[in-house]
Structure 1
Amino acid sequence: MISSAPGLVLGGSERGDYMCPSLEAGHVRRNELAGCTTTEADEKRDSHSLSGSYTTKPLIPSPLTYKQIPTASTTIFEAFKYDTLSWYTSGRDGTETSPPKPTRTDRFVFYLMFWYFITRRITLQLASGHSLIVVYPPKNGSKKRNLLEWLIDTIFSALEKLLGAMRSDIVKRRIEEIRVKEGVIVEAHLKDKIDDMYYVHLLATDPEYQGQGHGGTLLGIIGDKADAEGRDAWLTSSGPHNIPFYHLHGYETVAEIILGDDDPTWQKGELVCPVMLRKYKGSKLNRTIAEKV
């Protein structure tokens, strides 16, 4: 499910867990508070890459390591600093003029979250953790959990519930709103194949590393992996401003989640979060790399 960095919760053991919107976060248009806006440079870079005319040294993603967790946590905070959805899910009213500062508790929880993602999910990075992607593998394609994996999932699920209980009433209500509305869309548009799909849970790039094709490369590798297995992939974006970027990588909008339109505690107007699907394309581009993910 979509969420945001400040409204954090652990990654949990199931696909529907609440954390971050799937997006390419970086340099922002401050007037939109869009921490995930894709720049023109990114779109041009990805267009060249797809057409085969991009000639710089290829970027090769690698798994995020435990030593890179501090950097990855900072990447999230910086990337989502001005993201409107992040403000919504952290309980803000939208009229604030400056982003929230991460607390020690925030950082501690993110360290735990990334430890879980590295251990139990597909978590890739570029630029030493300054750009990263977290993907949930399809349930139907996953191996049966061993005892240790079951124990890790159980512990983190309990931690998630504990942290959820500590949220404010506003945050709880907004998280439930997103869960219900996304669930309706999934039921209507993705239900038949949802357990066979890859789910892009989080895609973010530190603003200082934006414009170098990191996000597009990470997203492309996941697309290649899905194609290599004959699978679709899906995500929920934090706003329409991300649509052109995702279109470059084969994602199409199937429905939109509308948030904040009837929330009296939110003053910045409705939020539109596209639910997007990338259908299997049968491409062999970068398949050698993808098969190692």
Structure 2
Amino acid sequence: MSVVAGPVVVPLKRSDIAKAIRTWDDAFKDDPLIRYVEGETPRPKPKPLKKGVMTAFLTIWRRRKISLTIKAGSALIIATPAKNQSGPPTPGDRVLDWIAGLMVKIWGRLGSAEQHKRQKEFQDKVKDAISKHLGDRVNDMLYLEIVATEPASQGRGYGGALVDAVTAVADSLLQESYLVSSNIANTEFYNSHGFKTARDILIGDQNPNWRKPPVVVKLMVRAIGGHNDEKYCDGIM
């Protein structure tokens, strides 16, 4: 009887970054939060600058975060280790942080005042939800920052394999995990990997310039081993 091997998860290499950038960009093209922040008529932004910003982030994250991939960037996951268990940045890391920060500032200046307002709304509401519902415990939790699979490779179990690889690390370190999901279509997927909704965050609900339903962003938590209780799950804000 033949055995079908599952997706092979490996660390993201420098040579994978160009492909990973395309995957990251393509996977989030129809993301509800991005559509909200950019608005109905988003300003075009220079593609080389966007590529430069994404390259800077992935280069830094390879050094300082858990960065894994399947098929050389066809799918990727970025996770931030618990703050209380991470070492201080090296001088090289600080240089990369400075470069990335500069590029983000340049990128941000290309947006409109309304886009800046919407981005700040999202950031403030998520920060508030994390503070209220996770508190200081968040410093001992692993954070799933990005999960992305290129459209052509979706449905093959790549995303699930990557999430399982990262949560296995969290379990081995006896750490809970959390993530912020900007697309409710992904809720069932994350539920199947042990994440439960701690809070529904409404974005755009009080913005008179947004004439569509609010975007629902979910703060989701996974207990050690994926066996969640209800201690974080208490509604909408």
1:183 match: 127
Query: How far apart, CA to CA, are the structure 1 residues paired with 2:72 and 2:33?
Result: 26
CA positional deviation for 1:265: 2.8
What SS class does the counterpart of residue 254 from structure 1 fall into? Answer: strand
Query: How far apart, CA to CA, are the structure 2 residues paired with 1:82 and 1:146?
Result: 36
Q: Tell whether the 8 Å contact from 1:228 to 1:282 is kept in structure 2 after alignment.
A: no
User: Which stretch shifts more, 60-69 or 218-227?
Assistant: 60-69
CA positional deviation for 1:102: 7.6
The aligned length equals 224
* 2:222 equivalent to 1:278: yes
Q: Tell whether the 8 Å contact from 2:202 to 2:217 is kept in structure 1 after alignment.
A: yes
* 2:99 equivalent to 1:151: no
TM-score by length of 2: 0.86
Q: Using the aligned pairs only, state the percent identity.
A: 31
2:21 match: 73
After TM superposition, the structure 1 = structure 2 runs for residues 23-38 of structure 1, keeping only pairs within 5 Å, are none
* Aligned partner of 1:223 among 164, 167, 191: 167
CA positional deviation for 1:266: 2.4
* Aligned partner of 1:125 among 69, 77, 80: 69
CA positional deviation for 1:76: 1.6
Query: How far apart, CA to CA, are the structure 1 residues paired with 2:223 and 2:160?
Result: 17
Q: Tell whether the 8 Å contact from 2:133 to 2:198 is kept in structure 1 after alignment.
A: yes
Query: How far apart, CA to CA, are the structure 2 residues paired with 1:165 and 1:141?
Result: 35
Query: How far apart, CA to CA, are the structure 1 residues paired with 2:210 and 2:178?
Result: 28
* 2:3 equivalent to 1:59: no
What SS class does the counterpart of residue 274 from structure 1 fall into? Answer: strand
CA positional deviation for 1:221: 0.8
Query: How far apart, CA to CA, are the structure 2 residues paired with 1:277 and 1:102?
Result: 36
After TM superposition, the structure 1 = structure 2 runs for residues 97-116 of structure 1, keeping only pairs within 5 Å, are 103-116=47-60
CA positional deviation for 1:192: 2.5
* 2:35 equivalent to 1:87: yes
Letter in 2 for 1:83: D
1:23 match: none
Query: How far apart, CA to CA, are the structure 2 residues paired with 1:180 and 1:253?
Result: 19
Query: How far apart, CA to CA, are the structure 1 residues paired with 2:226 and 2:52?
Result: 41
TM-score by length of 1: 0.71
* Aligned partner of 1:269 among 213, 218, 221: 213
User: Which stretch shifts more, 177-186 or 56-65?
Assistant: 56-65
What SS class does the counterpart of residue 122 from structure 2 fall into? Answer: helix
After TM superposition, the structure 1 = structure 2 runs for residues 5-16 of structure 1, keeping only pairs within 5 Å, are none
5+ long unaligned stretches in structure 1: 1-54, 284-293
Q: Tell whether the 8 Å contact from 2:49 to 2:107 is kept in structure 1 after alignment.
A: no
The change in CA–CA distance for 1:172 and 1:191 in structure 2 (over 3 A counts) is same
Give deviations 1:127-169, integer Å, cap 9, x for gaps.
2101000111111111233332233334433443343344321
CA RMSD of aligned residues (A): 2.2
Q: Tell whether the 8 Å contact from 2:50 to 2:107 is kept in structure 1 after alignment.
A: no
2:139 match: 195
The change in CA–CA distance for 1:239 and 1:134 in structure 2 (over 3 A counts) is same
